[in-house]
Amino acid sequence: MTIKIAVTGAAGRMGKTLIEAVALAEGAELAAAIERPDSSLIGADAGELAGVGKIGIAVVGDIEQVVGQFDVLIDFTAPVATVVNAQVCGAAGKGMVVGTTGFSDEQKGVFDEAIKDSPICLASNFSTGVNLCFKLLDMAAKVMGDDADIEVYEAHHRHKVDAPSGTALSMGEVVANALGRDLKKVAVYGREGQTGARERDTIGFATVRGGDVVGDHTVSFLADGERVEITHKASSRMSFARGAVRAAIWLATQPSGRYDMQDVLGLN
């Protein structure tokens, strides 16, 4: 069985990498490539655009044109576009693999309503290594969390528009859930001035933006006399793209419902 995959944001850095990952994957083929309707690359061959050679799939500017041609849409774009795509896919009963982050509460509500009857895999990070880190963080938090100060550091390229990263927030949520804390109440996003002594229950976040950093994340458990640090560093977007394609192939055989990469990897 070959799973027909569509990629939106096809002309972007991640879109091109996703197209390449689909081309390299067994059991999958690219069925559609979508870009903004005002893009100068509408009509271009998606394979040539991604550097994998001509494949006969032209980039289109409207998901409605191709919604009947694919099984699963992979979307790593922006919240506004992803919500629109979710409404189209939800109405057509199509699956979605979503790596978009930075949704507002209102956008989350519209998104959730749109895909309530479709299979969807939603994750802040699709790399196998990061999802392994989520399991390690849960373990570390349960062993050390009550006796340690916890800080989350992340760094990304200068073009990333949301902060902290969705992955950093997910790491904080894993730790907070393991300790029975509400991240919304205990998160501290940056420090400046006379902040006073650190409160033990807080989880701190530090954000760096610059250069071409693909994605670095470290969670530190700092106790008296020792510290444990769990780190993941991505050197290529292909690690995310391979995971997303793996998720799309897996999702195509699942019933309607909401899944994450932990489900795909059998870690839940």
> Can you give the pTM of this predicted structure?
0.81
- Look at residue 145 in the predicted model and tell me its pLDDT: 85
pLDDT of 28 higher than 80: yes
- Look at residue 178 in the predicted model and tell me its pLDDT: 97
Q: Do 132 and 102 fall within a single domain?
A: no
Q: Which of 156, 157, 184, 233 is catalytic?
A: 156
**Six-digit token string for 41:** 């690359």
Return d(Cα 137, Cα 143) in angstroms, integer: 10
Q: What is the pLDDT of residues 116-128, one digit of tens each?
A: 999 999 998 899 9
Q: Is 233 a catalytic residue?
A: no
Q: Do 199 and 241 fall within a single domain?
A: no
Q: Do 144 and 161 fall within a single domain?
A: yes
Average pLDDT of the chain is 95
Q: Omega before 37 cis (within 30°)? A: no
Q: What is the pLDDT of residues 161-217, one digit of tens each?
A: 889 999 999 999 999 999 999 999 999 998 999 999 999 999 999 999 999 999 999
> Number of folded domains in the chain?
2
- Look at residue 268 in the predicted model and tell me its pLDDT: 77
pLDDT band at 267 (very low <50, low <70, confident <90, very high): confident
Q: Which of 160, 185, 217, 232 is catalytic?
A: 160
pLDDT band at 37 (very low <50, low <70, confident <90, very high): very high
Could you give the count of Cα atoms lying within 13 Å of 11 in the half-sphere of its Cβ? 16
β-pairing verdict for 149-156 and 215-223: antiparallel
Q: Is 54 a catalytic residue?
A: no
Q: What is the pLDDT of residues 128-151, one digit of tens each?
A: 999 999 999 999 999 998 899 999
Torsion sign across C-alpha atoms 176, 179, 185, 191: negative
Segments forming the whole domain that contains residue 40: 3-122+237-264
Q: Do 109 and 132 fall within a single domain?
A: no
Instruction: State the CATH number of the domain containing residue 171.
Output: 3.30.360.10
- Look at residue 21 in the predicted model and tell me its pLDDT: 97
Q: What is the pLDDT of residues 205-255, one digit of tens each?
A: 999 999 999 999 999 999 999 999 999 999 999 999 999 999 999 999 999
Q: Do 9 and 93 fall within a single domain?
A: yes
Q: Do 205 and 152 fall within a single domain?
A: yes
Q: Do 116 and 71 fall within a single domain?
A: yes
Instruction: State the CATH number of the domain containing residue 15.
Output: 3.40.50.720
